[in-house]
Amino acid sequence: MKTTVKVTRGPGGWGGPFTVQETETRKVVASITGGGIHPLAQKIADMLHVPAVDGFKEKVEPDTMIIAIVDCGGTLRCGVYPKLGVKTIDTHPISPSGPLSRYINEGNFVSGVVEDNITLVESAETDTAAEEVPKAAPVTKAAAETPAASSKGMVGFITNSGRAIGSVVNIFYQAGRDSVEIVLKSILPFMVFVSIMVGIINYTGVGNVLANAIKPLAGSLPGLLGLSVFCAIPFLSPVLGPGAVIAQVIGVLLGVQIGKGTIPPSYALPALFAINSQVGCDFLPVALTLAEAEPETVETGVPAMLFSRLITGPIAVLVAFLLSFGLY
């Protein structure tokens, strides 16, 4: 009898419920959250009696994952592992969003999960039906011979031209649908979020209080360099990165103060780079996995790229400061 764990959505979450268990090929619980192995990943691993692996320290092949735990704010990681056929837990209470949202469904994704949403189920049945990748339908002989049976001459030319034009039109049509979906599910919610933040800051007067705290950093080049280094600290950058939530909040605060004249407009561009030194740091192990990097490359590449931000972050601020001359 195999041990089975049931996962349900948390407060304000989406998706699920579904069950997971060890199989002949899937034998690890992957934590891709930064800051070590997430407590949810460790609890599931302990319940299933399998190892929990930190995806930031070593490469984990998707086909060996029982489940992946991410802390994505709704940008990309939330859809990467469902696309790869791996059931996914997002610690943030989000609904399907981002460019890969079409791969997310209630059978492979659940969000807002806390430890109380993980329960043990004893079952003799192996939960493999949802893990099997559907095989492509075999090409029949009749289907394979269809192109060869097409008409020749002028009629064939017109027919083939029509098919080619239709194929191009369909590509553009689908691209338009995807663009509208991304705008509705990702860009517009972000704009609403920014608008709400600005309204709260202006109404409550919090901006005046924060202006005095932010001005020493955002109102001078040394302060922006220090802010850039802080955001790029290797053990902080993967935690600050998910969903770019921290950068969004700080960016709104800085934008309001620049609009009020508290901070000189000339610092807008370098401030943008200063608060975004951590961008992408939470996605490094996923990117290396998708690039089919060797385990040794992941083990050395992730820390190397994280530490490199301590150098490239301040350099980006300096370049932006130089390029900002004459812009305002």
Cite the active site residues: 72
| SS3 assignment, position 54 | strand
Supply the Cα-derived Rg of the chain in whole angstroms.
Answer: 24
User: Where is 205: in which H helix or E strand?
Assistant: none
243 vs 73: CA distance, rounded Å: 4
**Nearest in space to 25 (alpha carbons), one of 104, 109, 128:** 128
Torsion of CA 201, 204, 205, 207, to 10 degrees: -20
Pairing state between β 65-70 and 88-90? parallel
67 vs 86: CA distance, rounded Å: 6
Strand order in the sheet with 28-32: 52-54, 28-32, 65-70, 88-90, 109-111
310 vs 202: CA distance, rounded Å: 34
**Residue 254 contacts residue 285 (beta carbons within 8 Å):** no
Tell me how many helices (H) and strands (E) the chain has.
Answer: 12, 8
Residues linked to residue 15 through DSSP beta bridges, in sequence order: 110
**Residue 324 contacts residue 270 (beta carbons within 8 Å):** yes
Q: Which residues contact 67 (CB under 8 A, 6 or more apart)?
A: 7, 20, 29, 30, 44, 86, 87, 88, 89
**Residue 9 contacts residue 15 (beta carbons within 8 Å):** yes
